[in-house]
């Protein structure tokens, strides 16, 4: 797990801390700001056909980016949080009307100073519920059974379950455009090499 820490409001610059954690799934090769075609089939000289996906919430609390190819699924889940560490006094102004006349009034206000955190991690495994079957992906080449399921998934947004090292889970969505791209990426003719057997579900 990689964690970034920074403070705003005090002019202290950027502080970064990094913590290592064991993971099974490789981090995504792209970030949320990468200039790639999201939810579109693209060609890579190493992985053949693949698709990039990005999911985030409007409140800016998380971003989930992933890449999907027969050679493997790679994913990074980034969480954002902040806490108030201090306050500073700032001067503001506003217009008021008194006795029919408008004038500008200055006043003091306390403004919070936030410390913001950005934590990046990759899941231990990903679970899929497709056509009334549960599949688990852990690492390496996408198993034949899972590839076939992804290629035949209903053409709609899909909820997947991320499984973390400590056993906790997070549900997140894969968009309809990416699900449609899976039909090309994971069709039998797109498979490279020999797939692994599917990991049994606990």
For residue range 5-44, what is the model confidence (pLDDT) as tens digits? 444 443 333 333 334 445 579 999 999 999 999 999 999 8
14 and 77 both lie in a single domain: yes
Mean pLDDT score, 87-111: 91
Same domain, 78 and 29: yes
Q: Is residue 183 part of a domain?
A: yes
pLDDT in the model for residue 68 = 98
Q: Mark whether 131 and 39 lie in a shared domain.
A: yes
Spatial separation of the C-alpha atoms in residues 133 and 201, rounded to whole Å: 11
Mean pLDDT, rounded, for 134-160? 96
Q: What is the pLDDT of residue 23?
A: 56
Last residue of a domain, one of 113, 128, 159: 113
Q: Does one domain contain both 103 and 6?
A: no
Same domain, residue pair 74 and 94:
no
Q: Is the pLDDT of residue 150 over 70?
A: yes
Q: Is 181 exposed, middle or buried (0-12, 13-18, 19+ CB in 10 A)?
A: buried
In terms of domains, do 67 and 108 share one?
no
pLDDT of residue 3: 52
Kindly state the average pLDDT of the residues 99-115: 90
Q: What is the mean pLDDT of residues 98-123?
A: 91
| Mean pLDDT, the chain, integer | 85
Domain span at residue 177? 2-83+116-190
| 62 and 146 assigned to the same domain | yes
51-65: burial string, b at 16+ Cβ within 10 Å, e else: bbbbbeeeeeebbbb
d(CA 147, CA 132) in angstroms, rounded, equals 15
Query: Which pLDDT value is given to residue 12?
Result: 35
Comparing 70-74, 83-87, 129-133, which segment has the lowest mean pLDDT? 83-87
| Number of domains making up the chain | 2
Cα separation, 15 vs 85, whole angstroms: 15
Distance, in Å, from the CA atom of 75 to the CA atom of 188, rounded to the nearest integer, reads: 23
């Amino acid at each position: 797990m990689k964690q970034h820490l920074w403070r705003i409001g005090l002019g202290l610059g950027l502080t970064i801390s990094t913590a290592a954690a064991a993971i099974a799934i490789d981090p995504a090769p792209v970030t949320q700001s990468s200039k790639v075609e999201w939810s579109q089939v693209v060609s890579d000289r190493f992985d053949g056909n693949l698709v990039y996906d990005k999911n985030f919430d409007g409140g800016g609390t998380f971003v989930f980016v992933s890449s999907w190819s027969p050679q493997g699924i790679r994913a990074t889940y980034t969480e954002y949080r902040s806490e108030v560490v201090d306050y500073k006094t700032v001067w503001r102004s506003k217009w008021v009307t008194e006795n029919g006349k408008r004038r500008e009034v200055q006043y003091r206000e306390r403004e919070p100073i936030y410390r913001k955190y950005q934590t990046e991690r990759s899941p231990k495994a990903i679970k899929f519920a497709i056509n009334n079957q549960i599949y688990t992906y852990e690492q390496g080449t996408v198993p034949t059974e899972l590839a076939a399921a992804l290629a035949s998934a209903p053409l709609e947004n899909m909820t997947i379950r991320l499984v973390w090292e400590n056993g906790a889970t997070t549900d997140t969505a894969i968009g309809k455009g990416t699900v449609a791209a899976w039909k090309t990426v994971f069709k039998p003719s797109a498979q490279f090499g020999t797939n692994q057997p599917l990991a049994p579900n606990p």
